[in-house]
Amino acid sequence: MRSRQRMFAAVMRLLLKCLRLGRRRRFKLVRQVEQLWHYGHLCLRSLLYNSFTNGDVVLDSLFEPIYWLVDHVTRWFGVVFVALVIGLTSSIVAIVYICLLPLILQTYTPAWICWHLTYGHWNLIMIVFHYYMAITTSPGHPPQAKNDLTGVSICRKCIAPKPARTHHCSICNRCVLKMDHHCPWLNNCVGHYNHRYFFSFCLFMTMGCIYCSISGWEMFRDAYAAIERMKLLEKERLQVAANQTYYQTPPPTFSFRQRAFHKSVVYLWVLCSSVALALGALTLWHAALITRGETSIERHINRKERQRLQKKGKVFRNPYSYGSWDNWKVFLGVDVPRHWLTRVLLPSPHLPHGTGLSWDLPPCVMEQRAPLLAI
């Protein structure tokens, strides 16, 4: 009898312990849920009731996962985009040398041959040089030591000094001097030290594509008509083969070399025309920005500042603009007239004006402007 009582008491004690453990775990889970609820509620209140919060901050917070995904995809696929640019450009050059150049040497006059050889190779050299310099030249980064700079803001992501016209690149995870944008086709940021290389590459690539499209228009029409004839003859050949008798002969077929030649010409013209339209629009956009003396990021900043001052009855003037002509001279680094040849029409690795940390008046600008506060 006592043994049964002891066994019953032991079972009851074990049952009570299990109930206590279950209750503790349940209370712990409830406590964690309450903590998460209070944390989310606090985040929501800080987002909605902060005096510094506006519509831009709310949208940035909502789109933060998308920004994170785009930044990481762009970072990892930058090498793929560079390889794609090199591969497509190399294929066009190969088609020109293998297919078009022998035809030009056989059919064109000596004057036209000299023109095509001179302009084509000059344009190719300018494209290769500026693209190589754009992807290998660092855009420039501000120093990390706080004692090196005075009177600048602090980047809220780097927690480091940020000079005027400097912005943080979320893909490179660094501040960039005079940042324009991050270009995936360069796998590099476009900033103070490689902005000229980027624009020159876009300009000469557009010129090269327009040159190939105009020069190859007649060849494209002939090649496209030949491909249509190929399709028609191939269809007739299959019909004849299906109903062939002993006295019927199938129509002649094009050789592999002829097919490859015509398809290569069509590929060259379509690709060059498409790139000329897309890249030409981008080049015109950046040319307008350079004329106004601003970058892609500064355009949005200046527009908001212009609207803010306009409401107060004031006029906004870009402190980094020296006039349309002088803006181009500063951007291209043209100090004397001969630089238009040695620094613009020929490959030149010269550095831009200034260090990107301060923006003094360049020597090529004749007019002295009244000093303005940096934006």
Longest dimension (CA), the chain: 124
Number of domains in the chain: 1
Q: What is the pLDDT of residue 291?
A: 95
Q: Which domain holds residue 166?
A: 63-243+253-359
Residue-wise pLDDT for 258-294, tens only, equals: 888 889 999 999 999 999 999 999 999 999 999 999 9
Q: How far is CA 161 from the centre of its chain?
A: 26
pLDDT at 264: 92
∠ CA 29-34-36 to the nearest 5 degrees?
A: 95
**Residue 139 CB coordination number (10 Å):** 26
d(CA 261, CA 99): 7
Rounded to two decimals, what is the model's pTM? 0.77
Alpha helices in the chain (DSSP H): 2-49, 55-62, 64-95, 101-107, 110-136, 195-215, 217-242, 256-292, 296-311, 324-332, 339
Measured between alpha carbons, how far is 375 from 305 in angstroms, rounded to an integer? 9
Band of residue 375 on the pLDDT scale cut at 50, 70, 90: very low
- Mean pLDDT over 160-175 rounds to 87
Residue 162, beta-bridge partner list: 153
Buried-exposed string 78-106: b where 16+ CB fall within 10 A, e elsewhere: beeebeebeeebeebeebbeebbeeebee
Q: How far is CA 113 from the centre of its chain?
A: 36
Asked, for residue 338, whether it belongs to a domain, the answer is yes
Whether residue 149 is predicted with pLDDT greater than 70 in this model: the reply is no
Phi, psi of 251 (to 5 degrees): -65, 155
Least confident of 148-152, 216-220, 242-246, 256-260: 242-246
Q: Residue 186: pLDDT above 90?
A: yes
pLDDT tier at 373 (50, 70, 90 boundaries)? very low
User: Which has the minimum average pLDDT: 4-18, 113-127, 328-342?
Assistant: 4-18
Q: Is pLDDT at 251 greater than 90 in this prediction?
A: no
Of 170, 166, 164, which Cα lies nearest the Cα of 180?
Answer: 166
As annotated, the active-site residues are 183
Output the pLDDT for position 138. Answer: 94
Maximum average pLDDT range among 41-50, 145-154, 267-276? 267-276
Q: Taking residues 27-54, report their average pLDDT.
A: 71
- 152 within a domain of the structure (yes/no): yes
Q: Which residues contact 200 (CB under 8 A, 6 or more apart)?
A: 126, 130
| Nearest residue to 348 via CA among 185, 200, 165, 236 | 200
- For residue 169, is it left (φ>0), alpha (ψ between -120 and 50) or beta? beta
Q: How far apart are CA 280 and CA 274, in angstroms?
A: 10
| Within a domain: 192 | yes
Q: Could you tell me if residue 369 is inside a domain?
A: no
Q: CA 250 to CA 30: how far, in whole Å?
A: 84
Highest mean pLDDT among 39-53, 192-206, 212-226: 192-206
39 inside domain: no
**DSSP letters of 87-102?**
HHHHHHHHHIIIIIHH
Which pLDDT band, with edges at 50, 70 and 90, does 372 fall under?
very low
Of residues 183 and 73, which shows the higher confidence score? 183
- Per-residue pLDDT, averaged over 55-75, amounts to 67
| Residue 244 clears pLDDT 60, i.e. is over it | no
Task: Compute the Cα dihedral for 34, 38, 44, 48 and give only its sign.
Answer: positive
All residues at 6 or more sequence positions from 298 whose CB lies less than 8 Å from its CB, including other chains = 165, 318, 320, 375
- The reported pLDDT for the residue numbered 68 is 67
Q: Which two tokens stand for residue 352?
A: 């831009």
Residue 233 clears pLDDT 60, i.e. is over it = yes
For residue 349, tell me if it sits in a domain. yes
Residue 1 lies in a domain: no
Q: What is the average per-residue pLDDT within 213-232?
A: 87
Residue 177 contacts residue 193 (beta carbons within 8 Å): yes
